Structure 1
Amino acid sequence: MASKFAIVTGASTGIGFELAHLAAQNGYDLLVVADEPLIQSAAQDFRQHPVDVQAVEADLSTMEGVDKLLSATSGRSVDLLCANAGRGLGHAFIDQEVADWRRVVDTNVTGTIYLLQKVLREMVSRDSGKILVTGSIAGYIPGSFQAVYNGTKAFIDSFTDAIRNEIKESKGVTLTTLMPGPTETEFFDRADMMDTKVGTDEKDDAGKVAKDGWEALMSGKAHIISGWQNKLQVAAAHVAPASMMAEQHRHMAEPGTAKE
């Protein structure tokens, strides 16, 4: 058993999978979680590293799922948390089922901040720990045809900035927000967005995004926007009218905009 212990959520694929590898490479025992059986196969990959790996299948859109994850720690102190679990949803808001957009909100917001509160309380009490939360540059952009997802990421980007200030006296605890742009993961397929331009365009590499987030986490940075093009897009979002940014997003996310 290693002296360091990390939880990585959404670790079955994509950015979370890469973050879990980085944590294991750096000597952290792992507790990895996702809401699908694939997390067990991912855990087998992580076991190539000389650390202990536990895998939990749990739905982090529910309080019960978060409690199931925390119960699996068996009381062990969490040195590092990568709160990466997230869910997207494409198409027009008025056409979406309530259960579908509710699960996006509950996964990206409710489950995430419940987990953060539980882990952060313990970290602050001992004045030691690191947290990386996966936000998104989408939080700066009105997300036409992806409105609920972008809204949840706006919440996360703002929320982590606020909590970082609240815990600033705890010098041993750091909270870093990773803000990627479109990344080559299962996200767009699962969000039913493969008929859109953003769904079919070339995207950032998940390994590179995870590495950027890891380096920012280890150096205690407040946040990191991965990729220079994404940095430019965020800079533009600070000065361009919201209506212009919403129209630009429409061209990327409206169904039927995929390249032939």
Structure 2
Amino acid sequence: MAEDRSLAVVTGASTGIGYELARCCAENGFDLVVAADEPRINDAAEDFRKLGAKVEPVQADLATLEGVDKLYQAIGTLNRPVEALLANAGRGLGKAFLDQDFNEVRDVIETNITGTLYLIQKIGRDMRSRNSGRILITGSIAGFMPGSFQAAYNGSKAFLDSFSFALRNELKDTNITVTCLMPGATETEFFERADMMDTQVGQSKKDDPADVAKTGFEAMMKGEGDVVTGLKNKLMTAIAAVTPAGVLAEQHRKMAEPGSGEK
């Protein structure tokens, strides 16, 4: 990989928002290391190469420390600084918490939180040693609401939303920026993978992942602290800030309860 362009790392880049974030990077002068836990990451890499980027795909389970180490080692072989880390890998899980397989609950937590933080710390330390870099964390407006029938997922996104603001503050006297992208429901494979296609939110019209990614990428490049995508989502977060948690939980139940899409 020649060093004529800056290097960006994008996780969860095989589909959805992550794919579109990687596309934004490729179209705006970045070479790429892209990662996902499925073979489709290789097909995605081919798409990004057609946009002029040099691309290194890595198939790894980023819910595990070993998977993150595999990605970090692949980055290291390039001998290039990571100028932008777009930590987007995530997993959802629908249905009632007491009915869920705990191995799947654990996978949500380890993908969304543990693996994400481990990667951010490893690459963030490298950025700090150079005093240069951009970090984009994909949080969610779900972090503003108690997630009835998505309890572990919403809890994980509340963690990431909070973490991103804290990390940004810790780095305020450096040349490293931290941006939290907080989308709402987006037209990706998320709801199918989370077994939520029988819910109101699973069947509703959702945001375009390309629009979400473009908004997030632009916010990252400007060094903004956070961005909520879409007017509807901005209104939802504003209302959530002044609404009792019990009311929010009931509202979320209406969207995410199994069978709610049939009511």
* Corresponding residue for residue 84 of structure 1: 88
Whole-angstrom CA distance in 2 between matches of 1:78 and 1:142: 35
Opposite residue 7 of structure 2, the aligned amino acid is: F
SS at match of 2:215: helix
The partner residue of 2:246 within 225, 228, 243 is 243
TM-score normalised by structure 1 residue count: 0.98
Partner of 1:184: 187
- Equivalent residue number for residue 215 of structure 2: 212
Whole-angstrom distance in 2 between the partners of 1:58 and 1:199: 27
What residue in structure 1 maps to residue 206 of structure 2?
A: 203
Q: Secondary structure at the match of 1:18?
A: helix
Q: Is the 8 Å Cα contact of residues 200 and 259 (structure 1) preserved in structure 2?
A: no
| Structure 2 residue 173 is matched with structure 1 residue 169 | yes
TM-aligned CA deviation for residue 156 of structure 1 = 0.3
How far does residue 259 in structure 1 lie from its aligned partner after superposition? 4.1
SS in 1 for 2:113: helix
Q: Distance in 2 between matches of 1:70 and 1:204?
A: 32
Q: After TM superposition, where is structure 1 displaced by more than 3 Å over at least 4 residues in a row?
A: none
Structure 1: which 5+ residue stretches go unaligned? Answer: none
Q: Provide, for residues 173-207 of structure 1, a one-character-per-residue CA deviation record: whole Å limited to 9, x for no partner.
A: 11000000000000000000001000010000000
Tell me the distance in 2 between the aligned counterparts of 1:29 and 1:122: 18
Matched residue type, 1:139: G
Q: Does structure 2 retain, via aligned residues, the 8 Å contact 1:138–1:150?
A: yes
The alpha-carbon deviation at position 77 of structure 1 amounts to 1.2
In the aligned structure 1, how far is the partner of 2:30 from the partner of 2:83? 9
CA distance in 1, matches of 2:218, 2:54: 23
Counterpart position of 1:108: 112
The share of aligned pairs that are identical, in percent, is: 59
SS in 2 for 1:175: strand
Q: Which residue number in structure 1 is paired with residue 49 of structure 2?
A: 47
State the alpha-carbon separation in 1 of the partners of residues 258 and 44 from structure 2.
32
TM-score by length of 2: 0.97
Q: Any unmatched runs of 5+ in structure 2? A: none
**3-state SS, counterpart of residue 82 of structure 2:** coil
Q: What letter corresponds to residue 256 of structure 1 in structure 2?
A: G
| Per-residue deviation, 1:3 | 3.0
2:197 match: secondary structure: coil
Larger CA deviation: 74-83 vs 187-196: 74-83
- The RMSD of aligned alpha carbons is 0.9
1:3 and 1:198 map into 2 onto residues whose CA distance is: 40
Residue correspondences, number: 259
Secondary structure of the structure 2 residue equivalent to 1:258? helix
